[in-house]
Structure 1
Amino acid sequence: MNKIKIYLHSTVFVLLSVFMVTGCNLTEVDEVVDPNNPSVAGVLQDASRGELQNMITGLESRHRGYVSNATLLYGSFGREVWAFFESDPRFTIDWLGQEGITPYPNFFASGGVYNTPYQAIKQANLLIGATENTSSITEAEKSAILGFAKTIKAFQYLIPLHGQYQNGIRFDVDEPLNPGPFLSYDDALTEILALLDEAHSDLNNASSTLPFSLTDGFGEYGFDSVDGLIEVNRAIKARTSIYAEDWDGALDALNNSFMELTAGEASMNTGVYHVYGNPPDAFNPLYEPLDANTNQIMVVHPSMIDDAEAGDQRVANKFYERAVPVSNANVPEDASYQDARWATNTSSIPYLRNEELILIYAEALAQRNQGTDIADAEAAVNLIRNTWGLPSVSLNNTQEVIDQVLFERRYSLWAEGGHRWIDARRYDRLDEIDARYGTVFTQLERPTSETNFENNN
């Protein structure tokens, strides 16, 4: 598998100053631009193909920056996991809402679900600007890059939106010192959907061959092509559409995505992934050796074991029962299971798989509830269940399908970015989450930096 070996982030540039000695004058300073790394101003004016490729590679790297924080923080909120990190008691006290803790500005260790996605968005904006202002590629090639950049950008907006929820997020951040207003949750979803459609239009106008290369995160399942990126774009739109409760929009997007109503583990795992590697690349941030003697580990929340159906192969595949349970000073219960999904510390991490698309399909059909929609939704749910060794269920109406879909999503999408918390909230079921030893939050607070900026402008 090809891995990202070198990351040249065009958002970072170095200004080197040297003293030029002329006679006795030691105060004149001339700027020397690093010839090996393009400045922001440099790439925004007629960037070369190589510079564009560097920015695309950098965007793929930035794209994965949210993974650890979203999995741990949102996963803790939804009680998919516990973050048993003895390095700081706030991983349990604050994250689980113990001791009367409620969300506060600059919530402990939450930058990865707010600042980090906006860094990726900034990288995408830089790539978009550079692409629009270069003569080194054709217009059709520009469309390919723009479609890719906007697709990733749209995906990244969802991450802070999940945390901020009804606080809303800024969407227009092209000018960091003059950002646009905060948009409500619904308005932000509308803008994200529009951006995905804009990216889709770009990809439809793109060159037949991509003028850039992508990692195996796209290539392993054949999404490193224009047609493949279109399918990924539509898959992200399907996910976003169910958040917006646009059921027809979700189904329409799925028709042009990579969804396959096919049973089997290989079918379920088809999708797009974040790739990792050995230095100078980054390791898989969720990997932990089995039975490691550590007090710094993400563990499986016990409710995931308690609520599981007998014979569910998802439980066997994802949860490893440790020889010695893990304890934490702030949780009066040992954790017996840890994450078993990763073979090595360079294993890829999925961010959108066919299994999720099938469950989106079932949910959207049930909510639309026309003609054979309930029967088709039931068949889709049972396709998932049968794949993982569970018997078929009979579902007769929208409510029964939704109940079952939410249950299947807990196990199919466990620790893939906080789906349990997001799903419970959008169906007003946060009170159904097992909140043992704490409180389940609805959303985070707006960061102080944003509040201060608003108050001073």
Structure 2
Amino acid sequence: MVLSLGSCSFFELEDVSDPNFPDRSAFLANPTKSQLDFLATGIFSDLRTNGSGTGQGILLAYQVPGVIGREIYVLSTSDNRYVTELLGITPIDNANFLSGYFGSYSSARRSARTLADAAGNSPQITEEQRNAYLGFANTAEAYAMLVLSDLQYENGLRVDVSDPLKPGKILPYPQVVAAIKDKLDLAATQFAKAGTTLPFPVPSGFANFNTPATMLRFNRALAARTAIRTNKYTEALAAVQASFFSLTAAPTAGPLFNYGGANPDVFNSLFQVPNSKGSTVVVAHPSFVTDIRPTDTRISKVRKRDLRATTGLSSEFEPAIYASNTAPIPVIKNEELILIAAEAYLNTANKAKAVEAINVLANFYKVAPVTIADSDAKLLNEILYHRRYSLFYEGQRWVDLRRLNRLGDITPETTSDGKKTSVLKQLPLPFAEVQWDVANP
């Protein structure tokens, strides 16, 4: 995992003392519990923003697949690459800002590895505490790897990064997903041996996941998402049932990335002032409104705005998910788990359970229920419909259609000035990653 010098990179943490980007030698020599706690706190922060605190990582991780999956447009009067490159009009420049997510989540991986190595060495903590730190570090790294693999897909990813100056070769996507699963499973065994109390503080967005047992349920939720990436339904069902999945809890329940505002905290980078007139504006893809069912209450996720038109595209709706610039961003929600369960039930010969799960959301969001008499194909379409609207602008639709070989469900548009778009399968491998392998064959 390599990015060029001057960027936020996996390999540039050796001389940095910020707890979000720790000096490894300081932690590995004889780390105190206080140092481990600072590092754990830094990892939570790193995952929700990036090293510079600008939020570029999570911004791109939600916006890039949102544009490719035709959930949103990013319309800019000063930079048209969100349109020309992400909509497949011109090839993506693998050295430009669209690769910024790679450095952000790579730095989170690096911090997580540092915590794991430090906790493994520390003589100043108990074995239960050690397992808690290790479980969190492995879960955090797996989460960052999953975000990266969603965007890189068949390009693959480096799995072995234990030595930052001699990283392993890029592995194919199936091996990457298997490695993420293994890391989450290892973390699960560590949380199971971590006692009843986490030794490190958690942010307010994880208030309901502040013990080893509840953090384990979060870990299993990520394991369910990982299993569904390669349509491994038996694994997905086992993981979801061990998570915080519930047919009776609020669909939106789950851990959150929370934001406190101005320095020393940061703002929610996905928030946009209503009817913004800025040079760069996120708008809802017009199909969000035309395809939603008349009674579906998730129409509230967008609001009307003045028509925004640029780069040959336009929309008169914009996302209305976040009420303020300090609103939290969901990490993974109960309704995603419900829909993973529904798809897993459908594909493991338990159609009745699949219908029950689908109808939880159908009833909650006021759309017509499904029945046991409906075909499997119709039920899958219902699952995808609910995933589209329940997980709007969360980086999931493009990945869903891709894993089910249904990218053809997206109709490429032709811009008003005659440019034909296409649907990308993945982002290119960042330039520095390519160059590293050229220099280190």
1:72 paired with 2:63, answer yes
Q: Which string of whole-angstrom CA distances, capped at 9 and with x for unpartnered residues, describes residues 222-241 of structure 1?
A: 11111110100111001111
1:134 to 2:122 alignment: yes
Structure 2: stretches of 5+ with no match in the other structure: 1-11, 50-56, 415-420
SS in 2 for 1:207: coil
Name the CA distance, whole Å, in 2 between partners of 1:282 and 1:102: 33
Give 3-state SS (helix, strand or coil) of 2:309's partner.
strand
Taking a change above 3 Å as real, the CA distance of residues 452 and 79 of structure 1, as seen in their structure-2 partners, is same
Aligned position for 2:308:
326
**Alpha carbon RMSD of aligned pairs, Å?**
1.8
Q: Give SS of 2:217's match.
A: helix
Distance 2:401 2:23 in 1: 45
SS class of match (2:271): coil
Which residue is equivalent to 2:236?
Answer: 250
Alpha-carbon distance in 2 for matches of 1:256, 1:315: 32
Cα deviation per residue 1:118-154 (whole Å; 9 max; x = unaligned)? 1100000011111111111101100001001101110
Partners of 2:422 and 2:22 lie apart in 1 by 48
What is aligned with 1:450?
433
Deviation (angstroms), 1:111: 2.3
Residue 105 of structure 1 aligns with which residue? 94
Structure-2 separation of matches of 1:442 and 1:423: 12
Pairing of 1:114-125 with structure 2 (within 5 A): 114-125=102-113
Q: Please tell me the residue identity of whatever aligns with 2:332.
A: L
Deviation at residue 427 of structure 1 after TM alignment = 1.0
2:400 maps to 1:393: no
Counterpart amino acid of residue 407 in structure 1: Y
1:237-281, CA deviations, whole angstroms, 9 ceiling, x for partnerless residues? 01111112211111111111000012xxx6111101111112211
CA distance in 2, matches of 1:42, 1:71: 34
| Superposition TM-score, scaled by structure 2 size | 0.90
Q: CA deviation at 1:428?
A: 0.9
CA distance in 1, matches of 2:422, 2:128: 52
Distance in 1 of aligned mates of 2:267 and 2:335: 25
What is the CA-CA distance between 1:13 and the residue it aligns to? 6.8
Partner of 1:143: 131
Q: Give CA deviations for 1:56-108 in whole Å, capped at 9, x if unaligned.
A: 1110011113321011111100000001122312121112122xx134533x4
Distance 1:50 1:150 in 2: 19
Name the larger-Rg structure.
1
Q: Report the Cα offset of residue 207 of structure 1.
A: 2.4
Q: Per-residue displacement from partner, 1:10-58 (whole Å, max 9, x unpaired)?
A: x85768xxxxxxxxxxxxxxxxx99xx9742111112112111110111
Structure 2 residue identity aligned to 1:156: A
Q: What CA distance in whole angstroms lies between the structure 2 residues aligned with 1:213 and 1:425?
A: 38
Query: In the aligned structure 2, how far is the partner of 1:89 from the partner of 1:379?
Result: 44
Match of 2:384 in 1: 406
The number of aligned residues is 412
> 2:6 corresponds to which residue?
none
Residue in 2 that maps onto 1:353: 333
Residue 181, structure 1, aligned to residue 172, structure 2:
no
Moved more, 198-207 or 176-185: 176-185
Matches of 2:375 and 2:186 in 1, distance apart? 36
C-alpha distance in 2 between matches for 1:403 and 1:392 = 13
Q: Once structures 1 and 2 are overlaid, which stretch shifts more, 288-297 or 343-352?
A: 288-297
Q: Match for residue 290 of structure 2? A: 306
CA apart distance, 1:110: 2.3
What residue ranges of structure 1 are gaps of 5+ in the alignment? 1-10, 16-32
Partner residue in 2 for 1:234: 220
Q: Distance in 2 between matches of 1:337 and 1:132?
A: 51
Cα distance in 2, alignment partners of residues 229 and 86 from structure 1: 43
Is the contact between residue 102 and residue 441 of structure 1 (CA under 8 Å) also seen in structure 2? no
**Which residue of structure 1 lines up, in the alignment, with residue 259 of structure 2?**
276
